[in-house]
Amino acid sequence: MSSNHQNGAVLGTEFTQNVIDAMGPKTSPRLREVMAALIRHIHDFAREVQLTTDEWMAGVDMINEAGRMSNDKRNEGQLLCDVIGLESLVDDITFTAATNSTSGLTASAVLGPFWRQDTPRRENGATISFDTPPDGQVVYMHGKVTDVATGKPLQNASVDVWQASTNGLYEQQDAGQREHNLRGVFHTDAEGNYSFYCLRPTPYPVPMDGPAGKLLAMMDRQVFRPAHIHLMVLSSNEKEQVQHDGYKSLTTQIFDKECKYLGNDSVFAVKDELTVEFVPRKGDAKAPLELEYNITLAETS
Amino acid sequence: MSSNHQNGAVLGTEFTQNVIDAMGPKTSPRLREVMAALIRHIHDFAREVQLTTDEWMAGVDMINEAGRMSNDKRNEGQLLCDVIGLESLVDDITFTAATNSTSGLTASAVLGPFWRQDTPRRENGATISFDTPPDGQVVYMHGKVTDVATGKPLQNASVDVWQASTNGLYEQQDAGQREHNLRGVFHTDAEGNYSFYCLRPTPYPVPMDGPAGKLLAMMDRQVFRPAHIHLMVLSSNEKEQVQHDGYKSLTTQIFDKECKYLGNDSVFAVKDELTVEFVPRKGDAKAPLELEYNITLAETS
């Protein structure tokens, strides 16, 4: 399939089709579909902007640098995708495909790079803030996990929560926080309720010392993530041998309605239905603020 | 610009436009053009194939792994682009844009990752093969560098040549070859002629131990590059203080017409006009084969 183009002719769609057609018969149908579309769009992009070798090589350098900076504590490849909205988009596509679209269903948002698999289980009503900073505002957060279609409470659903401290750092990024600070896994009770003490979240900038930060600077973009709390909610609780099979797990973030960066999240994760309001709490010496947040799960489609 | 999408609605073109519009006023016009098109095409790709989070994360892992494996001796980010034809495409776009399209102009091909900036100058008629392997066939290669429009010979043009040995390795990949083996820079004489001894090139596989190799395997693709010799030709010779200003430098590869991989180069660099024929050479004890290859350069547009 050597190209038959003439001198001076830019390689066109025939060249692109040749690249796609080079895939062999043992390629899986899904990989063939994904790679064919990727090759077509990347080639169309290069032709559309008449991408030069120097510009392309700058992109290659950026990708290689992202890989070199990535480790178990940061993921620059992911962050590069995040700042162009790609993680939010694939999250939305994936969540939509996995659930029967239902009014009232809690929306998803991106996982981000700071979730940990080994977060300890804590009892309802416990705190996740063990190194509460002087500028931290403690919040009593609680709510109910229910089946979106029937309203039935889901017992023993696990609510995995994680957040940054007021310095903008998650515990694995910050030697000043003890391990597993500001994270915990809670199990809902017989009425589907969970509860814990956490911090009112505060905005923080994405890391600016890597290629994603450099790209943001080149794009003259604001770099802060609006104040948010991460949640991952699973209906099954394997430790307790109680299963709510057939519910789609939810990964999401809830955003402080009053945060000034709500309208220009640097990773485009905000959805209107995920904004929340922290209200004053009376009669609790441990927390001046309260947040009730109810979560609905849908059966998988 | 928080999205107003409803639960279950896949983020659409309004979301994509929001991401593009987040670029600030200090973005350079060219970066804005390139990033806007990249964001649009990447989002369209994700929506078109309904890319899932797991699939996207497999891509992120691949990119991070490419960066981790890249160093001054290999460039996996570049190789990932090469196997989907992107380097060939941007090379063609760039070369075409920089030259007045002229009949008879020597075509360009991709640089690849093995060129070295510090290759020594050698005298015309010298060899570049210092560790000739038993299965190597020596070739006397020679030709003339001329102005494509006038036919005028270009004196003191530099002809930078590099090739792999018969084991498929370039000298910087191979402890068994001395430094700068199978590479050299030659300067054309008053008639524009260059000459040297080299090896008849042999096909070799792209490295299969990194993400580009894994991607090729997943795509069920053949992994060999057809037998080729790399050339970089510059009209100016800074060491000699002789300049032929205004000529576009040429980076190209010439391919053995008889190589069985000519039709399915794993990086899509072959162009019909870059295929050459090695012919028997008589009366030269040093080389059983000969290749005459004349090169034309064009003034920059």
A198 and A61, same domain (yes or no): no
Q: Which tens digits make up the pLDDT trace of B257-294?
A: 999 999 999 999 999 999 999 999 999 999 999 999 99
Q: Confirm whether the ipTM is greater than 0.90.
A: no
Q: What distance in Å separates residue B6's CA from the closest CA in chain A?
A: 8
A166 within 8 A of A200, measured Cβ to Cβ: no
Among B93, B252, B296, pick the best mutation site for testing chain A contact (most A Cβ within 10 A). B93
Give yes or no for a contact between A67 and B63, defined as CB atoms under 8 angstroms apart.
yes
**Which of A28, A54, A72 represents a domain boundary (last residue)?**
A72
Q: Mapped to the 3 state alphabet, what secondary structure does B39-67 carry? A: HHHHHHHHHHHCCCHHHHHHHHHHHHHHH
Q: Say whether A90 and B51 touch across the interface (CB within 8 A).
A: yes
Q: Which of A38, A72, A106 is the last residue of a domain?
A: A72
Answer yes or no: is B261 within a domain. Answer: yes
Range with the poorest average pLDDT among A125-129, A278-282, B170-174: B170-174
Q: Are residues A215 and A245 in the same domain?
A: yes
Say yes or no: B90 and B210 in one domain: yes
Nearest residue to A147 via CA among A276, A295, A273: A295
Q: What burial class does residue A266 get, using C-beta atoms within 10 Å of its C-beta: 0-12 exposed, 13-18 middle, 19+ buried?
A: buried
Q: Do B218 and A262 touch (CB under 8 A)?
A: no
- Residue among B2, B49, B64 whose CB faces A270 most closely: B2
Which among A62, A63, A91 is the top mutation candidate for probing chain B, defined by the most B β-carbons within 10 Å of its own β-carbon? A63
| Residue A237 shares a structural domain with residue A162 | yes
Q: Residue B231: what residue type?
A: L
Between chain A and chain B, the number of residue pairs with CB atoms below 8 A apart is 283
| Cβ–Cβ gap B43/A87 under 8 Å | no
Residue of B nearest to A27 (CA): B219
Q: Are residues A205 and A139 in the same domain?
A: yes
Q: What confidence category does residue A5 fall into, taking pLDDT thresholds of 50, 70 and 90?
A: very low
B283 touching A, CB under 8 A? Answer: no
* pLDDT over threshold 60, residue A242: no
Residue to substitute from B32, B53, B110, interface A, most A β-carbons within 10 A: B53
Percent of chain B residues past pLDDT 90, beyond the cut: 82
Domain assignment present for B4:
no
Q: Classify residue A238 by its DSSP letter.
A: G
Distance, in angstroms, between A253 CA and closest chain B CA? 14
Q: What is the pLDDT of residue B97?
A: 80
Measured at the alpha carbon of residue B248, what is the angle toward residues B247 and B252, in degrees to the nearest 5? 130
| B73 close to B172: Cβ distance less than 8 angstroms | yes
Q: What six digits make up the tokens of A139?
A: 């919040």
What residues have CB less than 8 Å from B149, skipping those under 6 apart? B102, B298, B299
* Domain assignment present for B1: no
- Between chains, do A31 and B218 touch, taking CB under 8 Å as contact? yes
Tokens 């991952």 -> residue: A232
**Can you tell me the distance from the alpha carbon of B250 to that of B296, in angstroms, rounded to the nearest whole number?**
9
- Co-location of B60 and B133 in the same domain: no
DSSP characters over B201-263 = P--EEPP-SSHHHHHHHHTT---EEPSEEEEEEES-BGGGTB--TTBPPEEEEEEETT-TTGG
> For A28-68, what is each residue's pLDDT tens digit?
999 999 999 999 999 999 999 999 999 999 999 999 999 99
Q: What share of chain A is helix, strand, coil (3-state, %, to 5)?
A: 30, 20, 50
Residue B275 lies in a domain: yes
Hey, what are A256's tokens?
């402080």
Q: Which helix H or strand E contains A55, and what residues bound it? A: helix A53-69
Same domain, B211 and B165: yes
- Helices A53-69 and B86-98: crossing angle in degrees, nearest 10, is 140
CB contact under 8 A, B24 and A220: yes
User: Are A42 and A182 in the same domain?
Assistant: no
Is residue A34 packed enough to be buried (19+ CB in 10 Å), middle (13-18) or exposed (0-12)? Answer: buried
Closest partner residue to B47 among A60, A93, A104, by Cβ?
Answer: A93
Residue A4 lies in a domain: no
Chain-chain contact of A89 with B263 (C-beta, under 8 angstroms): no
Q: Which residues of A touch B74 (CB under 8 A)?
A: none
Q: Which ranges of B24-140 would DSSP assign to H, the alpha helix?
A: 29-49, 53-69, 76-83, 86-98
The Cα A245–Cα B188 span in angstroms is 76
- Tokens coding B204: 């070799």
Across the interface, whether the CB atoms of B22 and A221 are under 8 A apart is answered yes
Which pLDDT band holds residue A73 (cuts at 50, 70, 90)? confident
Residue B86 contacts A where some CB pair is shorter than 8 Å: yes
Identify whether residues A206 and A60 lie together within a single domain: no
pLDDT of residue B242: 46
Q: Chain A within 8 Å of B71 (Cβ-Cβ)?
A: no
Please, are residues A88 and A109 in contact by the beta-carbon 8 Å criterion? yes
Partners of B139 in beta bridges: B198, B289
* Partner B, chain A 233-262, Cβ-Cβ below 8 Å: 262
Rounded to the nearest integer, the mean pLDDT of chain A is 91
Q: B189 at the A interface (CB within 8 A)? A: no
Chain B residue closest in CA terms to A52: B94
Instruction: For residue A20, give the chain B residue with the closest CA.
Output: B84
The pLDDT score that the predictor gives to residue A236 is 67
Q: Which of residues 22-51 of B touch A (CB under 8 A)?
A: 22-28, 31-35, 37-39, 41-51
B41, B86: one domain: no
The residue that leads in pLDDT, A1 or A204, is A204
Q: Is residue B6 part of a domain?
A: no
Number of domains composing chain B:
2
CATH of the domain at B256: 2.60.130.10
Ranges under pLDDT 70 in chain B: 1-9, 100-102, 236-245, 301
In this predicted structure, what is the pLDDT of residue B301? 65
CA angle A233/A73/A182 to nearest 5° reads 45
Contact B84, A18 (CB under 8 A): no
Would you state the pLDDT for residue B239? 47
Let me know whether A173 and A63 are in one domain.
no
Interface residue B3 vs chain A (CB under 8 A): yes
With CB atoms and an 8 Å threshold, state whether A56 touches B90: yes
**B275 close to B233: Cβ distance less than 8 angstroms:** no
Helix (H) or strand (E) run with residue A47 in it: helix A29-49
C-beta atoms of A23 and B219 within 8 A: yes
Dump pLDDT digits (tens) for A205-227. 999 999 999 999 999 999 999 99
3-state class of A50 per DSSP? coil
pLDDT at A123 over 70: yes
Tell me which chain B residue has its CA closest to the CA of residue A51.
B90
Q: Are residues A86 and A61 in the same domain?
A: no
CB contact under 8 A, A15 and B63: no
CA-CA distance, A177 to B213, in Å (whole number)? 41
Residues 6 or more apart whose Cβ sits within 8 Å of residue B150: none
Domain end, chosen from A72, A103, A123, is at A72
- Strand, coil or helix: B78: helix
Range of the domain at A247: 80-297
Closest Cα partner for B293 from B262, B264, B261, B255?
Answer: B255
Task: Give me the sign of the Cα torsion angle A78, A82, A86, A90.
Answer: positive
Query: Does the residue A6 lie in any domain?
Result: no
Q: What is the pLDDT of residues A161-197, one digit of tens each?
A: 999 999 999 999 899 999 999 999 999 999 999 999 9
Identity of the residue in A16, A44, A64 whose CB atom sits nearest the CB atom of B75 = A64
Q: Please choose, from the candidates B250, B247, B223, B256, the residue with its C-alpha nearest in 3D space to the C-alpha of residue B298.
A: B247
Alpha carbon B58 to chain centroid, angstroms: 27
pLDDT reported for residue A102: 63
In a domain, A278, yes or no: yes
